[in-house]
């Protein structure tokens, strides 16, 4: 499956650099044409000759020295590559990639690449846990880099913790998955999922929000991506890591979520709105922290735009799935929302039931359809519920296709 592919291995300066030799060797054995770029730091740990002996190709180290027949090394390497893998990726290369720097051959080549880039961090555990490193990794994930998480254990320096380069077998497996992705039943569908609660600022330090953790929306995004869909995830603030392969758009307020969703709406086939959008926001946001007075404080609220209602009004080819978080009269309230917002399906959860709704890993839902059907689902993991919801979406799309043909 890897035979005939071109893979660029970027080696940076860490003690795990020698493990990149094993990776190069495994790839060559699998029939891959391997080109290696070494940074100056990497060459402190290993000599280029070792990679040349394994790959059968000259190691690339200089932005300004092109091999015979090549005009610009970085563009040639980027154009030929089916995939690039940075092994090991030091804290320094993560920072440079996150900033979009191009100050050596490796960074310049990666900037010019349109192929998938796998990044395999390896460093001291304290460095790995550092907020700057974690923020750089989050930034790279958001931009579509695939991070092969390091393993946890005793390190060469004697410290314990996360930061050991992932096993070469794991890196090989990820390369295989990326170059030959599973073809799921949602392949070809572009989905927009919203998640989390919005925050409506009162003053610079306070806001109105709700108890949504984002778990339901992130599970929906993960399940869709696992099944081959292209996924945009528009998310309010959460503590969750974005699922791999998902394009994440961060928002804070309902107004920001509205803008992000409306911009993406024409490009997507399905919208699933699991977010708990604040219905109201303070009419005025104070520019300074509001001082404590002896009396109470009256906050005047005004209505936020109902995003799902607007989507329903402007529906073209899209399928619209809403959620309803109810504390009483679940079915009747949910049915009213389904009709008012012009939805194709509504997932109603009674958030008073143990194991359902906000913050939990599980949910209990009723799927409600415009033709009056109701499917009651038992308590299940949010990821399993997500799969059930995507199964229904597929069925609704199939029905819509049959109707179009009949028309």
Told to check if 366 binds ligand PMT by CB under 6 A, we report no
Please state the closest distance from residue 383 (CB atom) to ligand PMT, in A. 11
Told to check if 242 binds ligand PMT by CB under 6 A, we report no
Please state the closest distance from residue 201 (CB atom) to ligand PMT, in A. 16
Catalytic, out of 99, 115, 139, 157 = 157
Scanning 83-91, 184-192, 304-312, 369-377 for contacts with ligand PMT by CB under 6 A, the matching segment is 304-312
Phi, psi of 166 (to 5 degrees): -55, 155
Q: Give the Cα separation of 354 and 358 in Å (integer).
A: 10
Question: Is 157 known to be catalytic?
Answer: yes
Told to check if 251 binds ligand PMT by CB under 6 A, we report no
Buried b (16+ CB within 10 A) or exposed e, 281-310: bbeeeeeeeeeeeeeeeeeeeeebebbbee
| Nearest residue (CB) to ligand PMT, 128 versus 258 | 258
Told to check if 281 binds ligand PMT by CB under 6 A, we report no
- In the numeric block, which tokens belong to residue 207? 């806001």
Total number of residues binding ligand PMT (CB under 6 A)? 27
Would you call the peptide bond into 155 cis, given omega within 30 degrees of 0 as the criterion? no
Sign of CA dihedral 169, 93, 164, 222: negative
Told to check if 322 binds ligand PMT by CB under 6 A, we report yes
Told to check if 304 binds ligand PMT by CB under 6 A, we report yes
**Could you tell me which residues come within 8 angstroms of residue 326 by beta carbon, excluding any fewer than 6 positions away?**
333, 334, 348, 349, 350, 351
Scanning 18-26, 134-142, 145-153, 209-217 for contacts with ligand PMT by CB under 6 A, the matching segment is 209-217
| Nearest residue (CB) to ligand PMT, 32 versus 274 | 274
| Nearest residue (CB) to ligand PMT, 141 versus 341 | 341
Helix residue ranges per DSSP H, 227-372:
254-264, 307-313, 330-340
* Cα dihedral: 243, 244, 249, 253 (round 10): 10
Q: By CB under 6 A, name the binding residues for ligand PMT.
A: 196, 212-216, 254, 273-277, 279, 304, 306-308, 322-325, 337, 349, 351, 357-359
**Catalytically annotated residues:** 157
């Amino acid at each position: 499956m890897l035979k005939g592919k071109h893979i660029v291995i970027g080696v940076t300066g860490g003690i795990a650099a020698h493990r990149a030799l094993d990776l190069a060797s495994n790839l060559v054995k699998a029939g891959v044409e391997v080109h290696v770029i070494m940074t100056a730091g990497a060459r402190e740990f290993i000599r280029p000759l070792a990679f040349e002996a394994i790959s059968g190709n000259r190691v690339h180290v200089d932005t300004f020295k092109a091999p015979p027949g090549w005009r610009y090394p970085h563009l040639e390497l980027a154009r030929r590559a089916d995939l690039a893998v940075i092994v090991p990726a030091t804290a320094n290369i993560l920072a440079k990639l996150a900033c979009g720097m191009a100050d050596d051959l490796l960074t310049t080549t990666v900037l010019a690449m349109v192929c998938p880039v796998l990044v395999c961090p390896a460093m001291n555990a304290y460095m790995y846990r550092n907020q700057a490193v974690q923020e750089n990794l989050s930034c790279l994930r958001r931009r579509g880099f695939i991070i092969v998480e390091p393993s946890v254990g005793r390190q060469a320096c004697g410290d314990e913790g996360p930061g050991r380069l992932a096993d070469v077998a794991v890196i090989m497996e990820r390369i295989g998955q990326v170059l030959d992705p599973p073809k799921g039943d949602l392949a070809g569908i572009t989905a927009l999922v919203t998640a989390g609660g919005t925050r409506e600022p009162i003053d610079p330090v306070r806001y109105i929000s709700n108890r949504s953790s984002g778990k339901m929306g992130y599970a929906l995004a993960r399940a869709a991506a696992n099944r081959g869909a292209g996924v945009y995830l528009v998310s309010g603030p959460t503590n969750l890591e974005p699922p791999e392969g998902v394009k994440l758009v961060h928002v804070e307020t309902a107004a920001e979520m509205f803008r992000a969703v409306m911009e993406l709406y024409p490009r997507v086939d399905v919208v699933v709105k699991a977010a708990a959008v604040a219905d109201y926001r303070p009419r005025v946001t104070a520019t300074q922290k509001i001082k404590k007075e002896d009396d109470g404080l009256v906050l005047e609220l005004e209505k936020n735009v109902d995003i799902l209602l607007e989507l329903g009004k402007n529906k073209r080819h899209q399928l619209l799935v809403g959620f309803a978080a109810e504390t009483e009269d679940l079915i009747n309230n949910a049915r009213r929302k389904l009709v008012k917002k012009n939805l194709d399906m509504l997932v109603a959860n009674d958030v008073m039931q143990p194991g359902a709704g906000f913050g939990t890993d599980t949910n209990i839902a009723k799927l409600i359809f415009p033709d009056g059907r109701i499917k009651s689902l038992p308590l299940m993991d949010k990821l399993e519920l997500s799969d059930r919801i995507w199964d229904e979406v597929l069925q609704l799309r199939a029905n819509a296709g049959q109707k179009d043909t009949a028309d």
